[in-house]
């Protein structure tokens, strides 16, 4: 660089530029890690479903409802029931603590019941993920879709369940 061309160049701005570039790279890495975590949640939930057996067992899987066995499935679940179903499902929890949900969790959209019998909902929540150094990232707000459906538990009581996606 010649002395004449260096006259218009601000040497004090170079560290500032590098600092900004470093911050941008860190943010971009954080976004990619968050995206990978969300995709992993989707993949893990899909892999954990059992296939339905064929033959006689398939006919047993279909519910036979009687007059005394009527559930509240015709009524849309409340926000509290939706949040409890998502929390009880364990979809947003990891045993290693790599994901942390920051309250509050809010139901932002409820759709009518679909043909499969579930209630599609969109839930807005803030999450943090644990980085390699053990520290948590900055909170990041996201919205996910869930299907809320009713199922009998082991005691024969109807409870709301959640699955990722609508």
Tens digit of pLDDT for each residue in 65-112?
444 444 455 788 888 998 888 888 887 777 777 777 877 888 899 998
Q: What integer is the mean pLDDT of 46-59? A: 51
pLDDT for residue 64 is more than 50? no
Give Dmax (Cα) for the chain: 93
Task: Look at residue 144 and give its three-state secondary structure.
Answer: strand
C-alpha 156, offset from chain centre? 28
pLDDT for residue 58 is more than 50? no
91/101 Cα distance (integer angstroms): 11
41/44 Cα distance (integer angstroms): 5
- Per-residue confidence at 57, pLDDT binned at 50, 70, 90? very low
The answer to whether 89 touches 48, Cβ cutoff 8 Å, is: no
Encode pLDDT of 110-141 as tens digits: 998 888 888 999 999 888 888 888 888 888 89
pLDDT at 60: 45
Residue with tokens 């004449």: 4
- Per-residue confidence at 22, pLDDT binned at 50, 70, 90? confident
Q: What integer is the mean pLDDT of 28-46? A: 77
Spatial neighbors of 147 by CB under 8 A, at least 6 apart, are 114, 116, 118, 119, 120, 121, 162, 163, 164, 165, 166
pLDDT at 121: 92
23/109 Cα distance (integer angstroms): 34
The tokens describing 69, both together, are 């066995």
pLDDT at 122: 93
User: How does DSSP classify residue 135?
Assistant: P
pLDDT at 62: 44
């Amino acid at each position: 660089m010649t002395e004449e061309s260096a006259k218009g160049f601000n040497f004090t701005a170079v560290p500032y530029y590098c600092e900004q570039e470093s911050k941008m790279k860190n943010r971009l890495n954080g976004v990619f890690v968050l995206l990978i975590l969300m995709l992993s949640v989707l993949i893990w939930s899909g892999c954990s479903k059992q296939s339905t057996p064929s033959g006689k067992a398939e006919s047993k899987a279909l519910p036979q409802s009687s007059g005394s066995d009527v559930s509240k499935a015709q009524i849309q679940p409340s926000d509290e029931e939706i949040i409890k179903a998502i929390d009880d499902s364990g979809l947003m929890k990891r045993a290693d603590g790599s994901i942390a949900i920051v309250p509050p969790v809010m139901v932002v959209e409820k759709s009518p019941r679909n043909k499969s019998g579930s209630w599609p909902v969109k839930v807005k929540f803030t999450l943090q993920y644990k980085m390699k150094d053990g520290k948590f990232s900055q909170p990041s707000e996201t919205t996910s879709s869930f299907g809320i459906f009713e199922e009998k538990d082991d005691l024969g009581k109807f409870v709301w369940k959640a699955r990722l996606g609508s």
